[in-house]
Structure 1
Amino acid sequence: MIFFIVNLVRLTKLNYKNMGNPVSTNGVTLTLVDFKKFNNANIDAQYRATGPLVNISGAEGGSATPYTVTVLAYIPSNQQLKPVDNTSGLSLQGNQIYLNYYGATNMQILNKQGGWDTVSCRDFRVEFNCNEQASQYDLYYIQFTYQLDSGTPSVDAICVRDQDDDPETDRGTVTRPSTPPPTL
């Protein structure tokens, strides 16, 4: 049995000029609240989660109230990061790590009956760009708010991905099993 323990007190606060400065894109306004790197995390690729760990403060109800999203994202630590292609969102680390918003999209999710339901989601991505598949990762704490701009409809859920812009290692596609899941 393998245990992975992180001391939450040992975070490095990363101060960037756009902390707290709002960015409007695709019908929402994003504001970076906090961005920190866990010290000495160095997580081996085989132990990292397949996606970021995410929490949202509440469900969208059509009001203009900002929603707070907290993300734990895995970024390669043993690779030189290159500039990302899309810089329309929040810069987290220069032009190398960005939080981008791609608008609302429909996604298929597995339901309790073993079938598929379509839900509308906001598509957020923590984006970086490196040449090769990484073997070591650092863990980052990202907290941001988003507020719906006037006329932007609410959705059922949010989707947050940590994504390498290199299309050979991460295409950001929705994957389904080759055989249908058993019915319950």
Structure 2
Amino acid sequence: MDNTTIKGETVESKSITMKLNTYSKLNEKIKASKVADGPSVNISQPENIENKNSYKVTVLTYLPDAVLSKVENNEGLELDKEFVYLNYVGINPVQFMGKDGKYTTLQGREFRFDYNCEVEKDKIKEYFLCYLQFSYTINDNQYADVIWVRDENEDPETDRGTVTGPSDLPPPTTL
């Protein structure tokens, strides 16, 4: 997929419904030395005041400029044929370090930007920047304190992520 935008797919996964608002991979390549350690994630306030269970998430992340293989976990939103998916993992505990240096455990809703690249991370010279915006609606009463999106290569080299919460909550480091 080169500079193509995909929109509109909807998938039910576990206890949520995910809708792809937009996904695009930019043609311009970025040197590996300039790539951030993990995705940049922003969650918006509820999209619809009448439905407080719906949220919009914007993600900036990177795909390696290398041949990708089929993704095994393909239960989520298909972003690039059979090679890139946004998958929902569920609610899992995540630990944050507060300003006092102590850890607090919160419940986090985990999403994964999954792809499968067999090239070792240190051999990848360039990446593509990807823009992803999706919405999710909670279908049960199980709420999370934060969400996080992990950029995960199914081949073991990459496992990165950013944790974020709704903008009306204090940032995790202020616990």
Q: Normalising by structure 1, report the TM-score.
A: 0.78
Q: Which residue of 2 aligns with 1:155?
A: 144
Q: Does 1:142 find its partner at 2:132?
A: yes
Aligned match of 2:3? 12
Question: Match for residue 110 of structure 1?
Answer: 97
- 1:43-89 CA distance string (max 9 Å, x none): 12221111101110027xxx553200000011001x10000110000
Q: Is it true that 1:39 corresponds to 2:30 in the alignment?
A: no
Going by fraction, where is strand more abundant, 1 or 2?
2
Q: Distance in 2 between matches of 1:98 and 1:46?
A: 25
State the distance in 1 between where 2:86 and 2:22 align.
Answer: 12
Q: CA deviation at 1:154?
A: 0.9
2:84 aligns with one of 84, 97, 120: 97
- For the residue of structure 2 that corresponds to 1:129, the secondary structure is strand
**Contact 1:164–1:170 (8 Å) recurs in 2:** yes
* Cα separation, 1, equivalents of 2:27 and 2:64: 14
Q: Is the 8 A contact 2:151 2:158 kept in 1?
A: no
* Contact 2:78/2:85 (<8 A) preserved: yes
- Does structure 2 conserve the Cα–Cα contact (< 8 Å) formed by 1:66 and 1:148? yes
Distance 2:160 2:56 in 1: 23
2:52 aligned with 1:52: no
| Coordinate RMSD, CA, aligned | 2.3
CA distance in 2, matches of 1:66, 1:43: 33
**Identity level (%):** 36
Counterpart of 1:88 in structure 2 is 75
- Alignment-mate amino acid for residue 81 of structure 1: L
SS of the residue corresponding to residue 99 of structure 1 reads strand
Contact 1:28-1:152 at 8 Å conserved across structures:
no
Q: CA shift at 1:22, angstroms?
A: 1.4
Letter in 1 for 2:20: L
Query: How many aligned residue pairs are there?
Result: 156
Larger Rg: 1
**Please, which runs of 5 or more residues in structure 1 have no aligned partner?**
1-10, 174-184
2:135 is aligned with what amino acid?
A: T
Structure 1 residue ranges, 4+ long, deviating more than 6 angstroms after superposition: none
